[in-house]
Structure 1
Amino acid sequence: MEGDRVSVDWLLTGGEIVSFDPATPASSALAVTAGRVVALGSDDELAPLAGPGTRRTRLGGAAVLPGFCDTHMHLEKVSHELSMLALGDARDIADVCERVRERAADAAPGAWIRCLGDAGGWHESNLAEGRLPTRAELDAAAGDHPVFLYRRPDHGALNTAAATALAGLLADAGDGEWQPDTGHLYGPRVRLVNDALYRPGVHEREQQLDLLARASRRLLEMGVTTVVDPGLPAGFDAAWQLYRAAADRDVLAQRVLLMNRFDWRGEFDAELNRVLHSTALPGDGDDRLRAWALKLVLDGEFTGAWLRPAEEPGSDRNARYSPGELRTVLRLCAERGWPACVHAMGGGAIAAVTAAVRELRAEGAAFTPGQVSIAHAFLITERDLDACAELGIGISVQPALAYTYVREMRAVWGPLAEQAVPFGTMARHGARFAGGSDTHPCDPLTGAAIAVTRKAWDGSSLGEHEALTPHQALSLYAREAGHHIGLRDVGVLAPGAVADFVVWPENPLGCAPEGWPSLRPALVAVGGRPVWMDHD
Structure 2
Amino acid sequence: MALPEGLRDTLFVGTILTMDEARPRAEALLVRGGRIAAVGALAAVAPLAAPGAERVELSGRALLPGFHDAHVHLTQHGLNLDRLDLIATQSLEEALQAVAARAQVTEPGAWIEGSGLSMSRWGVSRLDKRDLDRVSPHHPVVLRSQDGHSVWANSLALARAGVHAQTPDPEHGIIERDEAGEPTGRLLEQASALVMRALPAPTEAALRRALARAGAHLASLGITTVHHMAYEPPSYFRQLALAASDEAFSLRVWACVPHEDLEHAAALGLATGQGGGRFAVGGAKFFADGAIGSLTAWMLEPYAGTRTCGVAVHGPEVLRERLPLAISQGLTPVVHAIGDAANRAVVSAFEATRPLWEGAGLRPRLEHAQHLHPDDLARLAALRIPVSMQPVHLVFDAKRVAELLPDRIAGYCATRSLLAAGAPLAFGSDTPVADPDVRLGLRAATTRVAATGEALNPAETVPVEAALAAYTRGAAYAIGREGRSGRLAPGFDADLVVLSHDPTATLDGLEVAGTMLAGRWTYRPGDPAGDARYTHA
Point out the more displaced range, 201-210 or 65-74: 201-210
- The answer for the alignment partner of 1:80 in structure 2 is 79
CA distance in 2, matches of 1:193, 1:336: 30
* One-letter amino acid matched to 2:61: A
CA distance in 1, matches of 2:192, 2:413: 31
Secondary structure of 2:449's partner? coil
- The answer for the alignment partner of 1:503 in structure 2 is 498
Number of positions where the alignment pairs a residue of Structure 1 with one of Structure 2:
498
Does structure 1 residue 531 correspond to structure 2 residue 522?
yes
Does structure 1 residue 238 correspond to structure 2 residue 249?
no
* Larger proportion of helix: 1
Does structure 1 residue 341 correspond to structure 2 residue 340?
no
CA distance in 2, matches of 1:151, 1:97: 14
Q: 1:16 to 1:112 in 2, by over 3 A?
A: farther
**TM-score (ref. length: structure 1):** 0.77
* Superposition map of 1:253-332 within 5 A: 253-263=250-260, 271-278=261-268, 280-302=270-292, 303-308=295-300, 318=312, 320-323=314-317, 325-332=318-325
Stretches of structure 2 lacking an aligned partner (at least 5 in a row): 1-5, 125-130, 166-175, 179-183, 531-537
- Aligned partner of 2:464 among 446, 457, 470: 470
- The answer for the alignment partner of 2:535 in structure 1 is none
* One-letter amino acid matched to 2:501: E
- The answer for the alignment partner of 1:446 in structure 2 is 440
Does structure 1 residue 222 correspond to structure 2 residue 216?
no
Q: 1:196 to 1:317 in 2, by over 3 A?
A: closer
Stretches of structure 1 lacking an aligned partner (at least 5 in a row): 1-6, 127-133, 179-184, 264-270
CA distance in 1, matches of 2:231, 2:475: 21
Point out the more displaced range, 163-172 or 383-392: 163-172
* One-letter amino acid matched to 2:369: A
1:347/1:379 contact within 8 Å kept:
yes
Q: 1:354 to 1:322 in 2, by over 3 A?
A: closer
Secondary structure of 1:13's partner? strand
Following TM superposition, by how much is the alpha carbon of 1:395 offset from its aligned partner in structure 2, in angstroms?
Answer: 1.3
- The answer for the alignment partner of 2:63 in structure 1 is 64
* Superposition map of 1:122-521 within 5 A: 123-124=121-122, 152=146, 168=160, 187-188=186-187, 196=195, 202-232=201-231, 235=233, 237-250=234-247, 252-263=249-260, 271-278=261-268, 280-302=270-292, 303-308=295-300, 318=312, 320-323=314-317, 325-361=318-354, 366-367=358-359, 371-381=363-373, 383-438=375-430, 439-488=433-482, 489-512=484-507, 515=508, 519-521=510-512
- Structure having greater relative contact order (Cα 8 Å, sep ≥ 6): 2
CA distance in 2, matches of 1:521, 1:382: 38
CA distance in 2, matches of 1:392, 1:414: 29
**TM-score (ref. length: structure 2):** 0.77
CA distance in 2, matches of 1:149, 1:250: 35
Q: 1:204 to 1:150 in 2, by over 3 A?
A: closer
Q: 1:66 to 1:418 in 2, by over 3 A?
A: same
* Larger proportion of strand: 2
Following TM superposition, by how much is the alpha carbon of 1:434 offset from its aligned partner in structure 2, in angstroms?
Answer: 0.9
- Cα shift readout 1:102-161 (whole Å, capped 9, x = no counterpart): 989998998766543158x994469xxxxxxx879968xxx9988766665899999xxx
- Cα shift readout 1:293-344 (whole Å, capped 9, x = no counterpart): 1122223333334444799999698363444x42443334554543221222
1:87/1:122 contact within 8 Å kept:
no
- The answer for the alignment partner of 1:266 in structure 2 is none
CA distance in 1, matches of 2:502, 2:140: 43
Following TM superposition, by how much is the alpha carbon of 1:376 offset from its aligned partner in structure 2, in angstroms?
Answer: 1.5
* One-letter amino acid matched to 1:329: R
Following TM superposition, by how much is the alpha carbon of 1:30 offset from its aligned partner in structure 2, in angstroms?
Answer: 1.2
Following TM superposition, by how much is the alpha carbon of 1:526 offset from its aligned partner in structure 2, in angstroms?
Answer: 0.7
Following TM superposition, by how much is the alpha carbon of 1:48 offset from its aligned partner in structure 2, in angstroms?
Answer: 0.8
> What is the root-mean-square deviation of aligned Cα atoms in Å?
4.4
* One-letter amino acid matched to 2:333: A
